[in-house]
Amino acid sequence: MELIKLGNSTYYIKNVNNIGVYKVNDRDCYIIDSGNDADCGKKIIKLLNENNLNIIGIISTHSHADHIGGNKIISNRCNAKIYAKGIEKAIVNYPIIEPLMLYGSNPLLELQNKFLMAHPSNSKELEDIKGLEYLNLKGHSLDMIGVKTLDNVYFLADSLASHNSINKYHIFYLYDLEEYLKTLEYLKTLKGTFVLSHSEVTNDITSLIKENENKIQEIINIILNICKIPLTFEEILAKVFTHYNLVLNINQYVLVGSTIKAYLKYLKENNKLNYEFKDNKMLWYLM
Ligand SMILES: [Zn+2]
């Protein structure tokens, strides 16, 4: 972990999940997200203390476990307030909702793991903080936000999949494809320094936006091609995995499965796919 300066008041902690740091005076700062677990939270506190900074608040961009894992320990040890928006706040406070949503019912115990379910932390509704602006970055999760600082630094959370992730895993988690595509259009209008959670810091996200768009179009084409024959969701998921030579495990099953369902909804709303019930199976077919 390393604290890197990006502007007068803006820093970030370089990490597997980059953490934003916004100084409000010589002593106090807010952080943007808190890493994937308590251990990461401890390291953030230590690093900032070494730099004479005290954390007074955590802004959680969204409720995924790798962004809120340090919330509890940081809030306990630093007496920091935690802020999150609307329904994301609900999941930060009741993280069982995450595996519940992915599984569709009381989640299997093996889904109640640290990747899909953080420890609960007590967040409150997002508040205005001088020098910060919140951006609406819906699509990846229910109501993800980004944060812009007065130094023209944009913390964009998981609004773009990284180059490595696109090439290695092909399918990145999405909750709402329609909103995600709108977010990509919005990102094209921004100019500044960009900190994504899982990519290198850059001043130019144009090519990464294009890569994300291209991969989404590729997945849409694969699904449309697969559905030339009416198939169940399970069959579609299996064929997409086979296409990309990926191997299913329980986390991938719910994360990619849920993402494929987001694609199916998008394709239905755009009159490309429809479904019917036949022999007590729900079959998706090309319109
Ligand atoms: Zn996420």
Task: Give distance in angstroms: CA of 62 to centre of ligand 1.
Answer: 7
In tens, the pLDDT along 215-230 reads: 999 999 999 999 999 9
In tens, the pLDDT along 6-32 reads: 999 999 999 989 999 999 999 999 999
Task: Give distance in angstroms: CA of 20 to centre of ligand 1.
Answer: 15
Task: Give distance in angstroms: CA of 140 to centre of ligand 1.
Answer: 7
Task: Give distance in angstroms: CA of 285 to centre of ligand 1.
Answer: 30
Q: Are strands 19-23 and 10-14 parallel, antiparallel or unpaired?
A: antiparallel
In tens, the pLDDT along 107-130 reads: 999 999 999 999 999 999 999 999
In tens, the pLDDT along 57-104 reads: 999 999 999 999 999 999 999 999 999 999 999 999 999 999 999 999
- Nearest one of 41, 10, 5, 48 to 129, comparing CA atoms: 10
Domain 2-126 indexed as CATH 3.60.15.10? yes
Q: What is the pTM of this model?
A: 0.96
Task: Give distance in angstroms: CA of 188 to centre of ligand 1.
Answer: 20
Query: How far is 30 from 13, CA to CA, in rounded Å?
Result: 12
Task: Give distance in angstroms: CA of 174 to centre of ligand 1.
Answer: 9
Question: What's 217-286's CATH class?
Answer: mainly alpha
In three-state form (DSSP H/G/I as H, E/B as E, the rest C), the secondary structure along 128-157 is CCCCEEEEECCCCCCCCEEEEECCCEEEEE
The CB density around residue 106, as the number of other CB atoms within 10 Å, is 11
pLDDT of 69: 97
Tell me the residues surrounding ligand 1 (ion) with CB < 5 Å: 64, 158
Task: Give distance in angstroms: CA of 41 to centre of ligand 1.
Answer: 17
Query: How far is 287 from 285, CA to CA, in rounded Å?
Result: 6
Helix (H) or strand (E) holding 33: none
Task: Give distance in angstroms: CA of 224 to centre of ligand 1.
Answer: 26
Task: Give distance in angstroms: CA of 70 to centre of ligand 1.
Answer: 15
Query: How far is 53 from 34, CA to CA, in rounded Å?
Result: 15
pLDDT of 133: 98
Residue 22 near residue 15, CB atoms below 8 Å = no
User: Domain residues of the chain, as ranges?
Assistant: 2-126, 217-286
